[in-house]
Amino acid sequence: MLNLRRSPVEPQAISRSSLMKYLRATIRLFALCGTTAGYYLRWLVGVPFVFAFREAALSWRKQNFGGWARASARILRMRVNVHNAPPASPFLMVSNHLSYVDIVVLESQVDCAFIAKSEIASWPILGLMCRTLDTIFIDRKRKRDLPKVMAKVESTLERGLGVVLFAEGTSTGGRRVSPFKSSLLDFATRRFFPVHYATINYTAPAEESPAEQSVCWWGDMTFPGHVFRLLQLPHFDANVVFGSEPILAEDRHVLARELWSAVSSQLARAEAMPK
């Protein structure tokens, strides 16, 4: 006869599984904090010795920021799959935006500074670190700040760093690419500067919540809650496709549309690939 009674071990197994996820997330959180602090302090100690030498300063930054990104990816058990060669610095590049993890993915592959929303500058500890690591902050509500932001982009490129712009203006769930905002592309069209592009998407294990919920940070998700859920994943994949050729245009609206189309096409092809 078929026994329909629930096994007495099942609640215990569920509880044990939840406990293991909690412990995994806690250990990874401490590991990430320690790794971040270690690389940042190491970078700070070396800055006075390389500050006056451009190439040495860039190399020291790359060693530490890139090393932090690769170490963080290992702690997260995030496998970064790269398609096509990334651009060489200096470069201006746009990408779709899915999560704070995008920074780890891109910095593990290229030496770059990021354009970020101004609120991050006021975050405790993290804000200070971002400010000292060349992050370019923008308040999109203050149009009069755009010339100052574009001047920082230009000076960053002149120093030999790449600059990454998340042109959607906010993070999304990754099902589609939101229209690109064109205001910060004005520099590229005035200088007829080539703009590279990249497309990111994530894949979570089949037995876990889909990447749209577990890896992508968007909508009304709270930052602390999402971080802790992400750290519970046993592993996940980050897939980044770099555009084969940069795009040039003399009108920023045209440039934004062409970049959006290129990133969207790459995302559609990536989503169509067997998981």
Average pLDDT over residues 68-83: 97
3-state secondary structure of 107: helix
Decide: residue 91, CB within 10 A, 0-12 exposed, 13-18 middle, 19+ buried. buried
Query: Does the pLDDT of residue 118 top 80, yes or no?
Result: yes
Strand partners, 80: 238
- The 3-class secondary structure across 192-234, one letter per residue, is CCCEEEEEEEEECCCCCCCHHHHCCCCCCCCHHHHHHHHHHCC
Question: Which residues does 161 contact at the CB level (< 8 Å), separation at least 6?
Answer: 58, 61, 89, 90, 111, 112, 113, 134
Query: Does the pLDDT of residue 1 top 60, yes or no?
Result: no
Query: Does the pLDDT of residue 142 top 70, yes or no?
Result: yes
Cα 121 from Cα 137, distance rounded (Å): 7
* Predicted pLDDT at 269: 87
20-49 b/e with 16+ CB inside 10 Å = b?
Answer: ebeeebeebeebbeebbeebbeebeebeee
Band of residue 128 on the pLDDT scale cut at 50, 70, 90: confident
Strand partners, 130: none
Parallel, antiparallel, or unpaired: how do β-strands 236-242 and 136-138 relate? unpaired
Classify the C-alpha dihedral 231-108-86-250 as positive or negative: positive
Cα 138 from Cα 176, distance rounded (Å): 24
Average pLDDT over residues 42-70: 93
Tokens of 273: 């690939």
What's the pTM value of the predicted model, to 2 decimals?
0.90
Band of residue 121 on the pLDDT scale cut at 50, 70, 90: confident
97-116 pLDDT, tens digit per residue, is: 999 999 999 999 999 999 98
* Predicted pLDDT at 152: 93
Between the CA of residue 241 and those of 66, 173, 217, what are the distances in Å?
A: 18, 18, 20
Band of residue 14 on the pLDDT scale cut at 50, 70, 90: low
Average pLDDT over residues 170-178: 93
Average pLDDT over residues 217-234: 94
Average pLDDT over residues 154-177: 94
Band of residue 89 on the pLDDT scale cut at 50, 70, 90: very high
Band of residue 275 on the pLDDT scale cut at 50, 70, 90: low
Q: 128 or 247: which carries more pLDDT confidence?
A: 247
Query: Does the pLDDT of residue 54 top 60, yes or no?
Result: yes
Q: 214 or 51: which carries more pLDDT confidence?
A: 214
